[in-house]
Amino acid sequence: MHEVWDHRGATAQDEARHWAAADGTVIVETRPPGSFAEAVTTLTALDVATGAVLWRRTCPPLGPNQAIVVDGDLLAVLHVGQRLQACGYDAATGAELWTHPLTGEPRGVAVLGQEIVVVSGSSIRRLGRDGRLLGRTDLAGSALTTLAVTDDGDIITANGRGRQNILRFSRDTLDVLWATRVPGEQWTYRHTPLVTCDSVYFHSYSLWAMAVDVVTGEVRWRKKKAAGRGGVVLPGPDETVLWGTDGLARVRSQDGKALWQKRRVVAVTGTGDPDRVVIARRADVPYAFAPEERIDVRVELLDARMGDTVSGVDLVGVRRHWVDGDMSGRLFAVIGGVLVSGLETGRVRAFTVATATADS
């Protein structure tokens, strides 16, 4: 792995968080540390191949997860702060096109053809590409926390309250097609679940990692895990899935049995090839809240079948107080064969993702 480019933020404290990519461009939110309500957010469009800035604009802070998506000429963003709203921007220029007010904290946005789906508070909205409201449903007393889409366009979401915890909604009518309960109280799933042709896989902020049948909602299996650990779920090779942070594992899709595990993983991303995955792995040191102290983190390209390292590169400037935490909310993605990483404070760097066995 070799560095391709290095983009410095507006300040040395900027953190690269939410991102969306299309047509060789990555659009990333950067902001200094602070609350969502008070932070000043900047959206920057970077050329993935060169790191050149294509456009930059300020805007209200983005929501806590799944807050940005790009589709063709449309960039759809969920904003928090003084006003909760969905906004449409021109993906080529960053110009604002429209706004739509929301109620409840926004937790997910997706573009489905000519429509935009937004999860916010207890509601699911269908918007036109011009921001007009096309349909809405409310699940009374709920707190919806994530959004995924099935192969046929239906909506999968999670609810952190009550007994209806994982739900599938019809895309056309927004009716509930099935609902499944998750054991325990005060849990939530915040990261996008993995939806396949037959199952939905969840793994974040709950005592349970779960697989449910995508058609019926029946629980196929569930495994107890450490509460409070976030993490993405990715497709793996040969009927397996990869999940977790601070401990990436390859598990069998039919029963959740682990085939291998990697410890101290703070971020993970797929490469487009199920046989390869990229991780960021922290040094083996005790947790300490030391905001200005740095810690060694190594980016590694793994053989997803065995968990072996193929190549890697060291990062600098990762804050130590993240070492016992989860950095999956930061920019860390393989886009067009290039790893784009915002794990280091104040910068975004890009690296080649090669399959050569020589270490960099």
* Secondary-structure percent of the chain, ordered helix, strand, coil, rounded to 5: 0, 50, 50
> What are the backbone angles phi and psi of residue 238, rounded to the nearest 5°?
55, 65
pLDDT of residue 93: 97
Q: Is 40 helix (H, G, I), strand (E, B) or coil?
A: coil
pLDDT of residue 357: 37
Q: Stretch 29-39: mean pLDDT, rounded?
A: 67
DSSP per-residue letters across 292-341: T-EEEEEEEEEETTTTEEEEEEEEEEEEGGGTTS--TTS-EEEETTEEEE
pLDDT of residue 319: 66
Asked if pLDDT for residue 213 goes beyond 50, the answer is yes
Q: Where are the domains of the chain?
A: 1-16+235-360
CA distance 81 to 103: 12
**Closest C-alpha to 67, from 92, 113, 102:** 102
Percent of the chain past pLDDT 70, that is, above it, reads 86
- Sequence length of the chain is 360
Q: Stretch 57-72: mean pLDDT, rounded?
A: 90
Q: What topology does CATH give the domain 1-16+235-360?
A: Lipocalin (2.40.128)
Q: What is the pLDDT of residues 76-111, one digit of tens each?
A: 999 987 889 999 999 999 999 999 999 988 999 999
Q: Stretch 305-321: mean pLDDT, rounded?
A: 83
The predicted model scores a pTM of: 0.89
Q: Are 259 and 269 in contact (CB under 8 A)?
A: no
Strands annotated E in 12-163:
15-22, 25-31, 41-47, 53-59, 68-71, 74-79, 85-90, 96-101, 106-112, 115-120, 123-128, 133-138, 148-149, 155-158
